[in-house]
């Protein structure tokens, strides 16, 4: 009983600290002086969350042999950061609960600088202590967060993080997902050093619908946030300054004659942002993205999005992808398919992957994990979804690759749901008025055997309608697609954001035998016939690039806890459908250039 009371008291004080210490989220951390805290961390698996009572965050050592300390980070097993714990230790494959991470590092604060502890992501909830002091907490498994550690830095430092991937009914996502709930410090951890007054974020993009005008803002934080901020693009001899207002924000609007970014010419410019003594450099591409009627326009011209959906899953070894090699392998496969577009389902991926898409010329759909059913009526759940949205937009809003912010995936229709996602869409537009807003929808009216209507009222808030449909897999036979007619309640561009079927690599049979490569390839062919009958179609992203782990996929010998709808196996083997889609996209490119020539 005493223990329980203590735990409650302790928890309430911890919560207060969390709010006190919340701080600015630094954009472009790799443009800063950083000390990488990646590598080996000591870890304590703590299924009953005993560590809180034991105060493991103090990382104490017994001073004498009579001292009772019932944990020892140094002698505990290790895990690599970044990385999920599930695929690093066999006993943790299905583990959901708290794990304590600890590591030491040397760092002495330098005069006139500030230091922030920055986490690329921790799934799902993290509580952070620095030299025994609580810094704060973060909820949401796929977005970055940081804490200022200035006054706590002390030469030899100890960081303790409790990461808890317990699924929560009120969470985003909630209890049920078709992907693995990889826990841990899944992305890099860094100590970021910045001047006392510094630019924490900036937005430098073409004005909506203008290919000759940049609209920008710069935000400066710190004791001396006055004077001017400057944006320079040396390659075009451009230098513009603007006054910082009382809140440390400067707004810009100026003409700029730039080579436009596109998948064919992913041109990036070096951009230098300075204010006071601080300066940070980025690489930014310039392009416009809009809709006109049922078309998507890139740089004012219609574009068909030849896409593929994917997960942030590591090729060859499974687990959460995090390395340059993982990212490059996945995006290179998309390129090899002939894609100019990737749907990053169902949550924000690592920043490096988005930056790589910028360089490789792939347009992106980036999504937050508002997936299936969540607590639409819970204000805290909405706040949670909003902060995940804010964090990803603030991280990636300078990437030319990002074309679409997706609010959600396959949410069941109800007034509360529509209001919830409507609020998210409005918030996204306020944070970034330049991107398109989308969502993947799957609740469809069957008006007859051969006609389907997408009338989800969510459509009113969107620029592009995402349609997920599984004709030939969850519904009917692949051939049923041939005569299917689609109608849409909103005259907006449609992206068929998912279709597909399962196939185990090298499993063969006739086109009617489930889980064979032949079945999957045939399904794709019939889908193409159907897609040809959708006049509003502006793009597609079939499900899915590579097989991925999912606890919902139980069929032994075939699924073995993998969703097998990949065009490529988890071991990198291309299935027949890969080549079928590749051929289809090659034809699309030919058609596109024929139209352009006419
Ligand atoms: C869907 C979901 C996706 C699943 C997929 C499937 O509709 O959006 O997350 O993995 O279907 O394979 O069932």
Q: Ligand 1 atom closest to Cα of 442?
A: 7
Question: For the residues 316-333, what does the mean pLDDT come to?
Answer: 97
Q: Calculate how far, in angstroms, residue 410's C-alpha sits from the geometric centre of ligand 1.
A: 9
CA angle 532, 536, 542 (to 5 degrees): 60
Looking at residue 411, what DSSP letter applies? Answer: P
Q: Ligand 1 atom closest to Cα of 474?
A: 13
Contact 589, 338 (CB under 8 A): yes
Length of the chain, in residues: 598
Distance, C-alpha 462 to centroid of its chain: 19
Contact 279, 512 (CB under 8 A): no
Record the tokens describing residue 143, joined without a space: 């977005």
In the beta sheet, which residues pair with residue 229?
A: 242, 275
Q: Phi and psi (nearest 5°) for 429?
A: -65, -35
Contact 467, 499 (CB under 8 A): no
Q: Calculate how far, in angstroms, residue 180's C-alpha sits from the geometric centre of ligand 1.
A: 13
Q: How many CB atoms lie within 10 A of CB 468?
A: 20
Report the C-alpha gap between 412 and 418 in whole angstroms.
Answer: 9
Closest CA to ligand 1's atom 9:
178
Q: Ligand 1 atom closest to Cα of 500?
A: 12
With H, G, I as helix, E, B as strand and everything else as coil, classify residue 415: helix
With H, G, I as helix, E, B as strand and everything else as coil, classify residue 576: helix
> Shortest CA distance to 188 belongs to which of 39, 394, 337, 348?
39
> Shortest CA distance to 117 belongs to which of 152, 82, 84?
152
- CB within 8 A of 32, min separation 6: which ones? 26, 192, 193, 194, 280
Question: For the residues 348-358, what does the mean pLDDT come to?
Answer: 98
> Shortest CA distance to 44 belongs to which of 124, 163, 190, 136?
163
Ligand 1 pocket member 497 (CB < 6 A): no
CA dist 80 to 56, 85, 103, 313, 546, Å? Answer: 20, 8, 11, 17, 24
Question: What pLDDT shows up at residue 102?
Answer: 98
> Shortest CA distance to 117 belongs to which of 40, 226, 191, 168?
191
Per-residue model confidence as pLDDT tens digits over 501-545: 999 999 999 999 999 999 999 999 999 999 999 999 999 999 999
Per-residue model confidence as pLDDT tens digits over 134-185: 999 999 999 999 999 998 998 999 999 999 999 999 999 999 999 999 999 9
Mutate to test the pocket of ligand 1, among 410, 469, 559, 566 (most ligand atoms within 8 A of CB): 410
Dump strand ranges (E) for 140-188.
Answer: 145-148, 155-164
Q: Phi and psi (nearest 5°) for 473?
A: -125, -70
Ligand 1 pocket member 41 (CB < 6 A): no
Helix (H) / strand (E) element for 8: namely helix 2-20
Question: For the residues 285-298, what does the mean pLDDT come to?
Answer: 98
Contact 309, 341 (CB under 8 A): no
Question: What pLDDT shows up at residue 596?
Answer: 60
Report the C-alpha gap between 78 and 89 in whole angstroms.
Answer: 10
Looking at residue 259, what DSSP letter applies? Answer: P
pLDDT band of 11, cuts 50, 70, 90: very low
On average, the pLDDT of the chain sits at: 95
Contact 507, 515 (CB under 8 A): yes
Question: For the residues 5-34, what does the mean pLDDT come to?
Answer: 59
Record the tokens describing residue 455, joined without a space: 């009338």
Burial classification of residue 21, based on how many CB atoms lie within 10 Å of its CB (0-12 exposed, 13-18 middle, 19 or more buried):
middle
Ligand 1 pocket member 148 (CB < 6 A): no
Q: How much is the CA Rg of the chain, to the nearest whole Å?
A: 25
Ligand 1 pocket member 409 (CB < 6 A): yes
Record the tokens describing residue 105, joined without a space: 């590092």
Contact 521, 580 (CB under 8 A): yes
Question: What pLDDT shows up at residue 592?
Answer: 83
Report the C-alpha gap between 495 and 307 in whole angstroms.
Answer: 9
Contact 353, 321 (CB under 8 A): yes
DSSP strand pairing (133-139 vs 125-130): antiparallel
Ligand 1 pocket member 516 (CB < 6 A): no
Closest CA to ligand 1's atom 13:
178
Q: Calculate how far, in angstroms, residue 499's C-alpha sits from the geometric centre of ligand 1.
A: 9
With H, G, I as helix, E, B as strand and everything else as coil, classify residue 82: coil
Ligand 1 pocket member 178 (CB < 6 A): yes
Closest CA to ligand 1's atom 7:
468
Report the C-alpha gap between 367 and 418 in whole angstroms.
Answer: 17
Question: For the residues 97-119, what does the mean pLDDT come to?
Answer: 96
Ligand 1 pocket member 498 (CB < 6 A): yes
Mutate to test the pocket of ligand 1, among 444, 563, 566, 577 (most ligand atoms within 8 A of CB): 563
Question: For the residues 363-389, what does the mean pLDDT come to?
Answer: 98
Ligand 1 pocket member 565 (CB < 6 A): yes
Q: Calculate how far, in angstroms, residue 363's C-alpha sits from the geometric centre of ligand 1.
A: 21
Ligand 1 pocket member 543 (CB < 6 A): yes
Record the tokens describing residue 263, joined without a space: 């998948």
Q: Calculate how far, in angstroms, residue 143's C-alpha sits from the geometric centre of ligand 1.
A: 22
Question: What pLDDT shows up at residue 597?
Answer: 58
Q: Phi and psi (nearest 5°) for 157?
A: -115, 150
With H, G, I as helix, E, B as strand and everything else as coil, classify residue 206: strand
Distance, C-alpha 368 to centroid of its chain: 7
Ligand 1 pocket member 553 (CB < 6 A): no
Question: What pLDDT shows up at residue 6?
Answer: 39
Per-residue model confidence as pLDDT tens digits over 382-400: 999 999 999 999 999 999 9
Q: Calculate how far, in angstroms, residue 178's C-alpha sits from the geometric centre of ligand 1.
A: 6
Record the tokens describing residue 472, joined without a space: 């030939």
Q: Calculate how far, in angstroms, residue 81's C-alpha sits from the geometric centre of ligand 1.
A: 29
Ligand 1 pocket member 343 (CB < 6 A): no
Residue 8 has pLDDT above 60, yes or no: no
pTM of the full structure: 0.95
Question: What pLDDT shows up at residue 154?
Answer: 85
Lowest mean pLDDT among 10-14, 89-93, 538-542, 571-575: 10-14
Closest CA to ligand 1's atom 4:
178
Q: Calculate how far, in angstroms, residue 516's C-alpha sits from the geometric centre of ligand 1.
A: 19
Q: How many CB atoms lie within 10 A of CB 295?
A: 15
Mutate to test the pocket of ligand 1, among 498, 546, 558, 563 (most ligand atoms within 8 A of CB): 498
Contact 316, 570 (CB under 8 A): yes
Closest CA to ligand 1's atom 10:
178
Residue 595 has pLDDT above 90, yes or no: no
């Amino acid at each position: 009983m005493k223990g329980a009371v203590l735990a409650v008291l302790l928890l309430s004080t911890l919560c207060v600290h969390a709010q006190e210490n919340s701080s600015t989220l630094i954009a472009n951390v790799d443009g800063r002086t950083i000390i990488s805290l990646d590598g080996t961390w000591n870890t304590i698996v703590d299924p009953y969350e005993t560590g809180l009572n034991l105060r493991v965050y103090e990382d104490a050592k017994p001073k004498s042999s009579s001292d009772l300390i019932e944990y020892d980070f140094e002698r505990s097993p290790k895990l690599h950061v970044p990385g999920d714990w599930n695929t690093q230790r066999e006993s943790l494959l299905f583990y959901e609960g708290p794990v304590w991470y600890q590591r030491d590092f040397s760092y002495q604060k330098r005069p006139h600088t500030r230091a922030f502890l920055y986490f690329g992501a921790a799934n799902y909830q993290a509580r952070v202590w620095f030299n025994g002091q609580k810094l704060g907490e973060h909820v949401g498994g796929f977005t970055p967060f940081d804490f200022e550690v200035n006054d706590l830095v002390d030469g030899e430092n100890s960081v303790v993080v409790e990461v808890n991937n317990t699924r929560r009914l009120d969470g985003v996502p909630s209890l049920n997902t078709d992907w693995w709930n990889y826990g841990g410090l899944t992305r890099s951890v860094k100590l970021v050093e910045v001047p006392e007054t510094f630019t924490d974020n900036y937005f430098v993009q073409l004005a909506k619908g203008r290919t000759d005008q940049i609209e920008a803002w710069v935000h400066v934080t710190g004791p001396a946030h006055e004077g001017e901020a400057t944006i320079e693009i040396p390659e075009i001899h451009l230098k513009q300054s603007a006054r910082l207002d009382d809140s440390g924000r400067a707004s810009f609007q100026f003409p700029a004659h730039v080579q436009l970014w596109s998948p064919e010419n992913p041109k990036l410019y070096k951009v230098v942002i300075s204010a006071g003594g601080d300066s940070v450099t980025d690489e930014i591409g310039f392009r416009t993205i809009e809709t006109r009627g049922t078309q998507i326009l890139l740089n004012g011209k219609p574009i068909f999005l030849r896409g593929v959906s994917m997960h942030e899953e590591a090729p060859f070894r499974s687990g959460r992808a995090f390395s340059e090699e993982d990212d490059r392998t996945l995006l290179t496969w998309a390129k090899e398919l002939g894609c100019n577009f990737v749907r990053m389902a169902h949550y924000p991926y690592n920043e490096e992957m988005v930056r790589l898409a910028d360089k490789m010329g792939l347009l992106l759909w980036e999504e937050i994990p508002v997936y299936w059913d969540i607590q639409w009526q819970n204000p805290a759940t909405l706040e949670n979804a909003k902060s995940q949205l804010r964090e990803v937009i603030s991280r990636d809003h300078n990437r030319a690759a990002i074309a679409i912010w997706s609010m959600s995936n396959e949410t069941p229709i109800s007034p509360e749901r529509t209001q919830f996602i409507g609020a998210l869409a409005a918030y996204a537009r306020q944070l970034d008025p330049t991107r398109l807003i989308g969502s993947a929808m799957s609740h469809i009216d069957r008006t007859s055997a051969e006609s389907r209507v997408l009338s989800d009222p969510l459509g009113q808030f969107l620029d592009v309608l995402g349609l997920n449909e599984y004709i030939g897999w969850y519904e009917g036979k692949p051939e049923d697609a041939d005569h299917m007619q689609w109608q849409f309640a909103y005259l907006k561009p449609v992206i068929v954001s998912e279709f597909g079927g399962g196939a185990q690599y090298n499993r063969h049979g006739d086109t009617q035998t489930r889980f064979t490569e032949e079945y999957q390839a045939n399904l794709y062919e019939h889908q193409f016939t159907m897609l040809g009958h959708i006049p509003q179609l502006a793009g597609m992203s079939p499900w899915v690039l590579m097989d991925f782990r999912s606890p919902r996929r139980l069929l032994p010998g075939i699924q073995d806890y993998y969703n097998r709808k990949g065009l490529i196996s988890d071991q990198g083997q291309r299935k027949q459908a890969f080549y079928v889609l590749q051929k289809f996209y090659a034809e699309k490119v030919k058609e596109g250039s024929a139209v352009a020539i006419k």
